[in-house]
Structure 1
């Protein structure tokens, strides 16, 4: 990684505006992408009483250091999901998520959703997936942002449910769905039990993107590689704790979707300076910064770059390389990747303006 003091000759030392740095966003959850103002508006419309942590105490003080902490986090997420009651609500959420990513320099978004969490209200998993994909296409046309879907299973549900979702994702491969994931508290259930679901997704050519290496350590990263054949890891940041595991991640080209603000909010690290991004980069890891759940953590895509710039005194050249890695790790079409990489070079050359 380039040391902060090293600046290529001829380039301004003034930090560039991170909102104009082109980026691909690979770790964003569906309900968690909702704007706080939208949550409040929809709740008021339907008379839904929100907990203080989502109103006067927002963003909430969270910790997932133990299962009770994760339960409190999941409860807030479930309450937020309950305000999505109409097709118009779903379309609004996707459109606003796209608008927010564009404002943060996003050029490509892979948004992750577990259709089973919405199936009862929207006519089943297939009907809901159709709705989201239509909303994605609509938002892409309106904003110019490239958007695709990652279908994610919930590891707290039965592995047979995951196979159902994997078959669903496989049916939509090449038609808006680019990946298959596994989310929720990684300390729950046996990751090995989801291997057959990931085999279905793998045969369909989908990116395999389970959560791992955040609430559990590097041993779980090994499991995700061995049993699920992960192409990317949701988080994966704790690979840094075991040099052998990190070396394997690097050698396999497995990208890590690192979400610094949520790592600290959930108690994985005590502060942003403790997030081991420099160690990951120094080892040669591919890292794509993501916002995870802005609704609960209060920080969107550009904020992840800004916090890491401040916490580790990263030069713009390193931030640009992080953005490049996000495109290379994505399932974006080749023309989107090429345009993104060219835009990053232009950003470094000062053609998109300096920080305001």
Structure 2
């Protein structure tokens, strides 16, 4: 086998990582013990749980496990630990810029309300960024299973902290089961966010197909799409994504773990790239899916056959798709070039 460069040393941006889902398995066990919370075997076995969320029953199990893990985050110290460990893990994976996604609603009951929760997360992000050297910003995300008026509340909260540096809010998202709620009903919240300069970064095109992606394109004017892989099922939809230079936050590990594709070979990464789509690989929820950021690049190399030049192009795409300041992007892109110019080991 030809010598290859170290994927963990490849500078990259991480644009699709959920707050709760970033937790280390050992951390959720420790926090559950501290707070007297019983965890199911699926969260204590040391192995990723078996998931198949393409039907309602499977999604319910995934969401139940996620909600249990989320319930373990109850104090300021818990939040700070989670953020710092996520930053440390990203640093080991070569991530130099992280946009972590959080819905403050989920933690507000324990932390004094929406505003104190978001301010705590932002402060924890600043501290973790300074300690690890990873630039970290925040995407505030609404949930499809809540009322669209709740999404507007979150959008108005998010725009109070808009910026492009570590510890600021750079985007507004929409997550949870794509089969729930009407995407069009969230357009008002996204309009509030976009008008304040936040990136529009909704999930779409994972559990549902290209018709759902089309609705998302029309209603939410996305700058990036969380997942979006199933846009390949309609060339007309994929062409719009390419023409509008929308970055797809592609997460091969979670696509397989959730049963969207039966195996890593079936994830249409090469189809997206061959069509000219901008792709940023992401880990999504490592706690439940068992793969982190470097693992996604390893899948791209070992399963999809991408050489180091193509992997460097993927890293560069993630950086360009981020909301990092321009000078940070220039520096990181130069570092990607240096990685590619280095000798393989």
Structure 1 equivalent of residue 196 of structure 2: 204
Do the aligned partners of 2:74 and 2:107 also contact (CA within 8 Å) in 1?
no
Structure 2 counterpart SS, 1:312: coil
Is structure 2 residue 111 aligned with structure 1 residue 117? no
Shift of 1:329: 0.4
Do the aligned partners of 2:83 and 2:128 also contact (CA within 8 Å) in 1?
yes
Structure 1 equivalent of residue 296 of structure 2: 304
Alignment of 1:126-275 (within 5 A): 126-174=115-163, 176-275=168-267
Aligned residue pair count: 342
Is structure 2 residue 272 aligned with structure 1 residue 283? no
Whole-angstrom distance in 1 between the partners of 2:100 and 2:268:
25
Shift of 1:165: 0.3
Whole-angstrom distance in 2 between the partners of 1:95 and 1:56:
24
Whole-angstrom distance in 1 between the partners of 2:317 and 2:46:
35
Shift of 1:65: 1.4
Structure 1 counterpart SS, 2:191: helix
Runs of 4+ in 1 over 6 A off after TM superposition: none
Structure 1 equivalent of residue 306 of structure 2: 314
Whole-angstrom distance in 1 between the partners of 2:151 and 2:33:
34
Structure 1 equivalent of residue 19 of structure 2: 30
Do the aligned partners of 2:25 and 2:46 also contact (CA within 8 Å) in 1?
no
Runs of 5+ consecutive residues of structure 2 not aligned to the other structure: none
Q: TM-score, normalised by structure 2?
A: 0.97
Q: Provide, for residues 8-34 of structure 1, a one-character-per-residue CA deviation record: whole Å limited to 9, x for no partner.
A: xxxx94121100000100000000001
Shift of 1:75: 0.5
Structure 1 equivalent of residue 41 of structure 2: 52
Do the aligned partners of 1:23 and 1:106 also contact (CA within 8 Å) in 2?
yes
Instruction: Give the alignment partner of residue 83 of structure 1, picking from 64, 68, 72.
Output: 72
Do the aligned partners of 1:272 and 1:308 also contact (CA within 8 Å) in 2?
no
Do the aligned partners of 2:53 and 2:259 also contact (CA within 8 Å) in 1?
yes
Shift of 1:189: 0.8
Whole-angstrom distance in 1 between the partners of 2:2 and 2:188:
51
Runs of 5+ consecutive residues of structure 1 not aligned to the other structure: 1-11
Whole-angstrom distance in 2 between the partners of 1:133 and 1:46:
24
Structure 2 equivalent of residue 5 of structure 1: none
Whole-angstrom distance in 2 between the partners of 1:167 and 1:110:
19
Do the aligned partners of 1:288 and 1:325 also contact (CA within 8 Å) in 2?
yes
Let me know the Cα RMSD of the aligned residues: 1.1
Q: TM-score, normalised by structure 1?
A: 0.94
Structure 2 counterpart SS, 1:345: helix
